[in-house]
Chains A and B, each alone.
Chain A
Amino acid sequence: MLNFIWAFMMLISFVFAIISGKMQALSSSVLSGANSAVELLISIIGILCFWSGMMEIADKSGITRFLSKIFSPILSKLFKNVDKDSSAMRYISLNISANLLGLGNAATPFGLSAMKELKTLNHNKGEASDDMLLFVVLNTASLQLVPTTLCAYRQSYGSSAPYEIIPAVWLTSLCALTVGVTVAKVFSKRCR
């Protein structure tokens, strides 16, 4: 997908530069673009490393496990066919908790294990079960409590309050999640 998009962006800019006679500007943008990307990367290192360190402390202090205990009652209401004490439910709640803390590297392995368990529960059929579908929809929404990389970008471009968007992000995520789950549930019922 990205192959196509990336090539397309360059092709379009070449064609546009010919039409608008901006070939000189395009030519210098190749170097300045790469340069500004490196400047950006360097400027986000500090804040990104800081938050990764913080999240590592959270993980080692058992906050991930603590969160997953809080969420498993709510999650077992959503996942009707998954037993509350099964390993599938454990992986699901660990995945959600790791996502909340922004531990992407930890969340994905938990999620993959959850999918495997859910497939076994569905008798290894080649079609997605209601529960698998819901789980993937939860993972297409962003659950991260502190969007660290985003705040690092904001800081790097001189925002006076890089974190001020966080409450709005929470509200927006919650609404998006509610719509995603509702659509998943309603269509699951209808198509049965």
Chain B
Amino acid sequence: MVGATEEARLNQLESQVDNGGGGAWEYLCLVRKLKARRSEKVLRHGIFILNSHIARSKLGGEEWTLYEQVAVAAMDCHRNDIANDCIEALSKKFPGSIRVGRLKGMLLEAKGAWPDAEKIYAQLLVDNPLDQIILKRKVAIAKAQGNLAAAVEYLNNYLETFMADHDAWRELAELYISIQMYKQAAFCYEELILSQPTVPLYHLAYADVLYTMGGLENLQAAKKYYASTINLTGGKNTRALYGICLSSVAINQLTKGRNKDEKDSADLQPLAAEALLKDYKERAPEKLPLVTAMLRNIKLVS
């Protein structure tokens, strides 16, 4: 999870390193810790450290972690030559290592040689059939080839064994959303909320899925989950505020004509609209007229 303070620290370090203020290693460590995908910066600053002999020898054993990090970043930037050099350095140091084998497979993936990559992974799986990362890479291969149905199948098989892996549940939810199987995606998010009830982003994603499915019951549940997101973020999540506004408008449209009592949450929508306007006034005053016009259109403010 990336907290607000940590993110601010990461951005501050990034601009410091970009402007030549030093602290590159600290930045790379933070990127690794937060699992951020900032491959361009990692590649640029990582190579800089690896090329300078003094900086590299200061790292000691951590040098090899950096080689791995730079290799992956290079693949992400499509600089397969750099990735290849890094992997060669690593396999010279650690011959026969599974982790290096994994990197070789990833390099083949980056080149688009799917069958070869699969062959390497299959060989590695013979020695260690429960290697989680390799099993996940197989899902990624299917996904990269555009074969989402197969990716879903692999991932379901994987989750039968490793049910507590929430990253995999999240990936499965995202895959289901991209093939528009919202019911299944909702199930995945339910699982995630059960395992980590204090992460507001899961509540938010679940509410989004429910809102997308539509129907009165789903919309009401979506509104509740948007509300819990607001509760967990202290009202600082703009998307949840919008969600409250839109889902209550949709509920009102569905219940129009029927005299269903909606008294329990009648205060919620004007409050959300008010919070939204206040937020915009503080952080983006030039967009305030747009938001006011939009909210007026859906009759949440007068």
A, B co-complexed: no
Residues of A within 8 A of B (CB): none
Residues of B within 8 A of A (CB): none
